[in-house]
């Protein structure tokens, strides 16, 4: 019994195990480990012929797991507790599996397991991985003896069923009303954000993301052409500082619900990051997303009304000039850092530097320029691996180490601006990305995370300035990916060219896949209820009519299948012939006896109807001989049988 | 002459076609279909997926739910059609003895010209018998034999037959039932320890006032030799064999008349207190007589003498014994 799962249902076991593995990033590690532990337990039982635990034990364990999940998540609703419970339950079911009759339940759990992955990700890669799993799970619904005996026949049969099901599913997807609602009442406990940002930035916190290849968003630009160096996606404006650490400051800058853009300048497909930040290009004035509300403040910092738990399809528009900044914002961003804890000589050195900066001019633009010059002329260097230095002081960075990642320079520059009485803040977000010429979109990854500075210029408007442009201009001009390749991989000039043009096979392949993945995601996200209504409107169909149409279509398919089936069923021509002759005979009060053969019956008819039989006898004999042929000649083709039947009908009509 | 040949041919061929549809058999009904238990779980699973798609505004889950709804819809037709083209072409229960194994022969016919019928479950409803036929190719027959026992003797109706299938996905259960108006007999058990009531030809001819010719006339084909017993007519001793083997042997024929079993029905049942025991004992004797080609003579209530000298008569007696009750003697 302990061997049945891996011996007879190996494919099923592998499928469910694979589905469990796919859910690894989405559930708490303890749930995942527990699920795997049950699988290992089962493997142990298999190899060492150990007794598998009884149902009472597995039942108790499942209740225990449910209780722990409830304690951990404080709810059983929501996708994470559900996925966690299914992982544990499928592990337990695999552990106790001892009978063919339990197979179906295991398959059902497998369906739920693999489908729950799509609650967390739309990624095409997962879908491709899940297709064979779905196929094997569905095949396991067939009787086991059949799969074992004729695997090829079963596979062909499955293929036919899938071929029939796919167009039907597509028709239902297009025609049936797919209303959706984000139930805010359902608590979500997503504690595992994929965005690298929190509300605080300290030296090292952004550079940590430089090795993270995870996709943050894909951006498609329409009207404006952007150079790589202009692609700044601002996420958070950090206004509270302490030395080199910057934190988000809660403010009263107003909460305005963003209007839908009248003309869409760019699309963003934002991956779920379990935060409420929306990333917008410089100069964005409107943003909207289906099923989500986006707010902005007076300074056009965009935020979602909820934590982003699923892919968001955002449409946005750009405006020319930015509005003027209010006095409250100015005074808030003038707060100077407190250096009282520094030794007096360090304080003096910093004040001297500020004086030096201000000496060339006090206008914000000039001060900013002077600071950039200071960075470029004092051997400041850019490093991809500065290490985690949350305690790094401004003095140490400016006078001791003189090297850092973007957040070091942004923090230092914003502090120097504030010390020069110019309101400034640090912006964190992403810069650049990878352009996909096949799909005409930009892919922004975690490693493109960036920090830069905004200061208020002489016209009281926020202006962006990036100190990295002077320290490592290639980082901004070529983007992080290329810069990293140049610095770390020591690429030759030709290799850099190839990489820039995307001509090597691997790059093209990866671009192609990324492009397909992007189209797939946008197709699914775009194809919502509104789009559906638009399409139906084009065909002059209301939702109710579409629903009726689908039902009629299903009914028609049903009838067609039945008709097609009936065509194949052989008619019992022999019986029809008998009925025909019998019907004729009853007119003369003659009935075939049960024990009578056709020949005797024919004789009896002939003797009972002497007047009629004289002329009719040859015909009657012919009819009987046709009937005998039909009844005993098994090889008679359907068309021949039909002909015989018609002949008999004619004869009987004459008679 | 030609007709005679044809008649023989026709009566000999009973399977697979019948001359006439069996009048007693009801018309095979159309199949019915309902979701199986797993089908209910599966359907609920689709509803859960739809609820998740609605809650999380997830179009992909919608797509998956629709795909599985389509599978369910297609499965409905496949399961229904799997049973639709299958018909029962033969259903036969041979009469058998009580407490012994009887057999039911069922032949299914898949009259579809293209499709296989797969995993057809046959259920003999009243006898609680089930079996599954894994596959019937298009336009083919499959025969199964099921064994069963009956604890009581008597005449029984052919049980209803249910053909069902959950093929291919075990999501739906499709079935059709049909009644078969035939009857079969369960003969009394062959039990008893008493010696058969053998009589000699002379004794019996005196008792029943029959001529020796009447008793002897049934002999025809020579079967072999067996040892002489006191009940055998000495005229039947084969002296040639005695000369060779120095032992008395008698010739046996297909219908053995020299060794005759005789039962006076009324007298026999009067002397034995337990009716069931008496019936079983008598059944055993008659069966043994049939087996050894011994002539069995019965005198019934109306003083009629019956010679059990052909198969049909034996069967009639067994059938009579199957349904015999105390009422028949009052």
* Shortest CA gap A372–chain B (Å): 48
What's the rounded Cα separation, in Å, for the pair B27 and B224? 51
pLDDT in tens, B276-300: 888 888 888 888 888 777 778 887 7
Report if residue A105 sits inside a domain. yes
Query: Is the predicted pLDDT of residue B2 greater than 50, yes or no?
Result: no
DSSP category for residue B107: E
Residue A388 shares a structural domain with residue A466: yes
Place of tokens 């060219």: A497
Cβ-based contacts of A603 with chain B (< 8 Å):
3
Residue B157 shares a structural domain with residue B236: no
Residue A240 shares a structural domain with residue A123: no
Report if residue B168 sits inside a domain. yes
Residue A356 shares a structural domain with residue A225: yes
Sign of the dihedral through C-alpha A125, A130, A131, A132: positive
Residue B40 shares a structural domain with residue B174: yes
Report if residue B22 sits inside a domain. no
Report if residue A520 sits inside a domain. no
Q: Which DSSP string do the residues of A132-200 spell out, in sequence order?
A: HHHHHHHHTTS-HHHHHH-HHHHHHHHHHHHHHHHHHHHHHHHHS-------TTS--------S---SE
- Cβ distance A183 to B55 less than 8 Å, yes or no, reads yes
Minimal-distance CA residue of chain B relative to A127 = B60
- Cβ distance B57 to A310 less than 8 Å, yes or no, reads yes
Report if residue A517 sits inside a domain. no
Residue B203 shares a structural domain with residue B316: yes
- Cβ distance A182 to B59 less than 8 Å, yes or no, reads no
Residue B135 shares a structural domain with residue B268: no
Reported residue count of chain B is 330
A184 close to B (CB below 8 A): no
B59 close to A (CB below 8 A): yes
Residue B175 shares a structural domain with residue B239: no
Report if residue A515 sits inside a domain. no
Residue B249 shares a structural domain with residue B167: no
What confidence score (pLDDT) does residue B23 get?
A: 40
- Cβ distance B115 to A558 less than 8 Å, yes or no, reads no
In this structure, the number of other CB atoms found within 10 A of the CB of residue A182 comes to 15
Residue A449 shares a structural domain with residue A357: yes
At A262, list the tokens: 């009248």
**Separation of first and last alpha carbons in chain A:** 71
What confidence score (pLDDT) does residue B69 get?
A: 93
What confidence score (pLDDT) does residue A111 get?
A: 92
A242 close to B (CB below 8 A): no
A112 close to B (CB below 8 A): yes
Nearest by CB to residue B54, choosing from A181, A290, A599, is: A181
Residue B169 shares a structural domain with residue B37: yes
Query: Is the predicted pLDDT of residue A233 greater than 70, yes or no?
Result: yes
Last residue of a domain, one of B186, B220, B248: B186
* Domain assignment of residue A583, given as a range: 573-654
Residue B330 pLDDT level (bands cut at 50, 70, 90) = low
What's the rounded Cα separation, in Å, for the pair A249 and A235? 14
- Cβ distance B113 to A631 less than 8 Å, yes or no, reads no
Cβ-based contacts of B11 with chain A (< 8 Å):
597
Residue A224 pLDDT level (bands cut at 50, 70, 90) = low
Residue A206 shares a structural domain with residue A127: no
- Indicate the number of domains in chain A: 4
Q: Which DSSP string do the residues of B216-284 spell out, in sequence order?
A: HTT--SEEEEEE--TTS-GGGB-HHHHHHHSS-EEEEESSEEEEEEEEEHHHHHHH-S-HHHHHHHHHH
Report if residue A20 sits inside a domain. yes
A183 close to B (CB below 8 A): yes
A254 close to B (CB below 8 A): no
Residue B220 shares a structural domain with residue B280: yes
A119 close to B (CB below 8 A): yes
Q: Which DSSP string do the residues of A569-592 spell out, in sequence order?
A: BPP-HHHHHHHHHHHHHHTTT---
- Cβ distance B38 to A119 less than 8 Å, yes or no, reads no
B141 close to A (CB below 8 A): no
Nearest by Cα to A282 from A233, A325, A216: A233
Residue A561 shares a structural domain with residue A585: no
Report if residue A184 sits inside a domain. no
Nearest by CB to residue A592, choosing from B20, B42, B112, is: B20
Q: Which DSSP string do the residues of A306-321 spell out, in sequence order?
A: S---S-EEEEEEE-SS
Cβ-based contacts of B52 with chain A (< 8 Å):
79, 119
Report if residue A503 sits inside a domain. no
Cβ-based contacts of B60 with chain A (< 8 Å):
118, 122, 127, 524
φ, ψ for residue A21, nearest 5 deg:
-65, -40
What's the rounded Cα separation, in Å, for the pair A325 and A173? 48
Percent of chain A past pLDDT 70, that is, above it, reads 91
Residue A311 shares a structural domain with residue A263: yes
Residue A560 shares a structural domain with residue A585: no
φ, ψ for residue A155, nearest 5 deg:
-65, -45
- Cβ distance B115 to A568 less than 8 Å, yes or no, reads yes
Last residue of a domain, one of B186, B215, B238: B186
Residue A170 shares a structural domain with residue A246: no
- Cβ distance A562 to B171 less than 8 Å, yes or no, reads no
Average pLDDT over residues B313-319: 86
Disruptive mutation site among B37, B53, B56 for chain A (greatest number of A CBs within 10 Å) = B56
Phi-psi region of B259 (alpha: psi -120 to 50; beta: other; left: phi over 0): beta
φ, ψ for residue A319, nearest 5 deg:
-115, 160
Residue A603 pLDDT level (bands cut at 50, 70, 90) = confident
- Indicate the number of domains in chain B: 2
- Cβ distance B70 to A164 less than 8 Å, yes or no, reads yes
Report if residue B191 sits inside a domain. no
Residue B64 shares a structural domain with residue B177: yes
Report if residue B4 sits inside a domain. no
Residue A327 shares a structural domain with residue A449: yes
Residue A459 shares a structural domain with residue A552: no
Minimal-distance CA residue of chain A relative to B80 = A562
What's the rounded Cα separation, in Å, for the pair A184 and A522? 24
Residue A376 shares a structural domain with residue A407: yes
* Domain assignment of residue B203, given as a range: 198-329
Report if residue A535 sits inside a domain. no
Query: Is the predicted pLDDT of residue A189 greater than 80, yes or no?
Result: no
In this structure, the number of other CB atoms found within 10 A of the CB of residue A169 comes to 22
pLDDT in tens, B189-237: 988 888 888 777 767 777 766 665 555 544 456 667 888 877 677 777 8
Last residue of a domain, one of A444, A463, A478: A478
Residue B252 shares a structural domain with residue B313: yes
What's the rounded Cα separation, in Å, for the pair A304 and A286? 13
What confidence score (pLDDT) does residue A181 get?
A: 61
- Cβ distance A141 to B21 less than 8 Å, yes or no, reads no
What confidence score (pLDDT) does residue A501 get?
A: 67
Place of tokens 């982003």: A308
* Shortest CA gap A551–chain B (Å): 12
- Cβ distance B3 to A528 less than 8 Å, yes or no, reads no
B16 close to A (CB below 8 A): yes
Residue B308 shares a structural domain with residue B203: yes
Which residues numbered 604-633 in A keep a CB inside 8 Å of some CB on B?
A: 628, 631-632
Cβ-based contacts of A143 with chain B (< 8 Å):
118-119, 167-168, 170
Average pLDDT over residues A449-458: 89
Residue B36 shares a structural domain with residue B125: yes
CATH number, position B84: 2.70.50
- Cβ distance B112 to A570 less than 8 Å, yes or no, reads yes
Nearest by CB to residue B20, choosing from A169, A178, A578, is: A578
pLDDT in tens, B98-121: 888 889 999 998 888 888 899 999
Give me the interface pTM, i.e. the ipTM.
0.71
Report if residue B137 sits inside a domain. yes
């Amino acid at each position: 019994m302990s061997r049945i799962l891996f011996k007879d249902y190996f494919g099923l076991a592998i499928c469910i195990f694979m589905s469990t593995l796919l859910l690894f990033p989405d559930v708490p590690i303890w749930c995942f480990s527990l699920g795997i532990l049950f699988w290992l337990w089962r493997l142990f039982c298999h190899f060492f012929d150990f007794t598998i635990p009884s149902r009472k034990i597995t039942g108790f364990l499942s209740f225990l797991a449910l209780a722990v999940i409830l304690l951990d998540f404080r709810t059983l609703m929501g996708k994470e507790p559900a996925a966690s419970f299914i992982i544990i339950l499928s592990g337990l079911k695999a552990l106790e599996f001892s009978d063919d009759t339990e197979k179906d339940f295991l398959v059902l759990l497998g369906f739920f397991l693999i489908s729950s992955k799509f609650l967390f990700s739309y990624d095409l890669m997962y879908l491709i991985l899940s297709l064979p799993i779905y196929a094997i799970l569905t095949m396991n619904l067939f009787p086991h003896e059949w799969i074992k005996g004729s695997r090829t026949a079963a596979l062909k049969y499955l293929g036919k069923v899938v071929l029939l099901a796919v167009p039907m599913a597509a028709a239902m997807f297009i025609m049936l009303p797919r209303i959706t609602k984000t139930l805010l009442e359902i608590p979500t406990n997503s504690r595992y954000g994929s965005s690298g940002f929190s509300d605080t930035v300290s030296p090292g916190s952004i550079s940590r993301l430089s090795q993270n290849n995870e996709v943050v968003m894909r951006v498609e630009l329409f009207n404006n052409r952007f150079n790589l160096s202009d692609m700044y996606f601002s996420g958070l404006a950090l206004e509270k500082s302490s030395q080199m650490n910057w934190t988000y400051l809660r403010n009263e800058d107003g909460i305005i619900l963003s209007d839908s853009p009248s003309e869409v300048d760019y699309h963003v497909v934002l991956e779920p990051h379990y935060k409420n930040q929306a990333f917008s290009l410089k100069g964005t004035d409107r943003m909207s997303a289906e099923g989500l509300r986006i707010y902005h403040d007076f300074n056009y910092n965009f935020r979602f009304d909820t934590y982003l738990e699923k892919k968001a399809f955002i449409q946005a528009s750009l405006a020319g000039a930015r509005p003027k900044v209010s006095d409250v914002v100015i005074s808030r961003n003038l707060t100077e850092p407190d250096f009282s804890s520094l030794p007096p000589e360090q304080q003096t050195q910093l004040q001297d530097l500020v004086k030096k900066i201000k000496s060339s001019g006090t206008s914000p633009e000039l001060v900013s320029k002077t600071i950039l010059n200071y960075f470029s002329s004092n051997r400041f260097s850019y490093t991809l691996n500065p290490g985690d230095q949350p305690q790094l002081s401004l003095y140490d960075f400016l006078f001791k180490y003189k090297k850092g990642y973007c957040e070091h320079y942004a923090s230092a520059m914003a502090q120097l601006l504030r010390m020069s009485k110019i309101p400034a803040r640090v912006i964190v977000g992403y810069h650049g990305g990878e352009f996909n010429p096949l799909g005409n979109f930009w892919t922004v990854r975690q490693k493109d995370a960036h920090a830069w500075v905004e200061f208020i210029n002489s016209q009281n408007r926020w202006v962006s300035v990036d100190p990295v442009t002077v320290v490592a201009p290639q980082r901004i001009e070529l983007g992080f990916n290329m810069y990293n390749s140049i610095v770390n991989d020591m690429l030759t000039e030709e290799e850099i060219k190839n990489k820039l043009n995307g001509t090597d096979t691997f790059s093209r392949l990866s671009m192609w896949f990324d492009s397909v993945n992007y189209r797939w995601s946008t197709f699914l996200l775009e194809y919502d209820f509104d789009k559906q209504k638009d399409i139906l409107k084009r065909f002059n169909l209301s939702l109710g009519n579409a629903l009726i149409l689908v039902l009629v279509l299903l009914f028609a398919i049903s009838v067609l299948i039945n008709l097609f089936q009936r065509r194949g069923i052989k008619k019992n021509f022999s019986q029809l012939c008998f009925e025909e002759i019998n019907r004729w005979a009853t007119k003369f009060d003659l009935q075939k006896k049960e024990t009578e053969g056709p020949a005797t019956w024919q004789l009896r008819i002939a003797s009972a109807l002497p007047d009629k039989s004289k002329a009719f006898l040859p015909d009657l004999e012919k009819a009987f001989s046709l009937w005998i042929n039909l009844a005993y000649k098994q090889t008679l083709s359907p068309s021949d049988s039909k002909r015989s039947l018609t002949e008999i009908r004619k004869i009987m009509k004459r008679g | 002459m030609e007709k005679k040949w044809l008649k023989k041919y026709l009566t000999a061929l009973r399977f697979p076609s019948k001359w006439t549809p069996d009048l007693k058999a009801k018309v095979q009904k159309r199949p019915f279909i309902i979701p199986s238990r797993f089908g209910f779980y599966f359907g609920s699973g689709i509803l859960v997926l739809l609820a998740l798609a609605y809650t999380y505004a997830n179009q992909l889950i919608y797509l998956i739910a629709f795909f599985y709804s389509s599978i369910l819809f297609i499965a409905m037709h496949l399961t229904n059609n799997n049973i639709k083209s299958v018909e029962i072409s033969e259903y036969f229960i041979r009469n058998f003895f009580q407490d012994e194994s009887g057999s039911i022969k069922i032949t299914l016919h898949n009259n579809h010209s293209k499709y296989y019928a797969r995993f057809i479950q046959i259920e003999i409803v009243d006898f609680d018998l089930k079996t599954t036929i894994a596959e019937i190719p298009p336009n083919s027959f499959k025969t199964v034999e099921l064994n069963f026992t009956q604890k009581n003797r008597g005449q029984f109706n052919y049980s209803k037959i249910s053909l069902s299938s959950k093929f291919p996905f075990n999501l739906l259960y499709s079935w059709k039932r049909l009644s078969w108006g035939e009857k079969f007999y369960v003969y009394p058990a062959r039990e008893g320890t008493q010696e058969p009531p053998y009589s000699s030809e002379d004794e019996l001819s005196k008792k029943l006032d029959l001529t020796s010719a009447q008793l002897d006339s049934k002999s025809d084909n020579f079967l072999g030799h067996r040892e002489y017993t006191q009940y055998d007519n000495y005229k039947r001793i084969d002296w040639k064999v005695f000369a060779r083997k120095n032992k008395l042997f008698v010739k046996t024929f297909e219908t053995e008349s020299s060794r005759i079993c005789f039962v006076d029905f009324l007298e026999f049942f009067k002397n034995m207190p337990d009716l069931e025991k008496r019936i079983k004992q008598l059944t055993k004797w008659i069966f043994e007589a049939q087996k050894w080609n011994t002539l069995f003579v019965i005198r019934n209530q109306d003083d009629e003498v019956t010679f059990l000298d052909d198969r049909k008569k034996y069967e009639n007696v067994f059938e009579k014994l199957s349904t015999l009750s105390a009422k028949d003697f009052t």
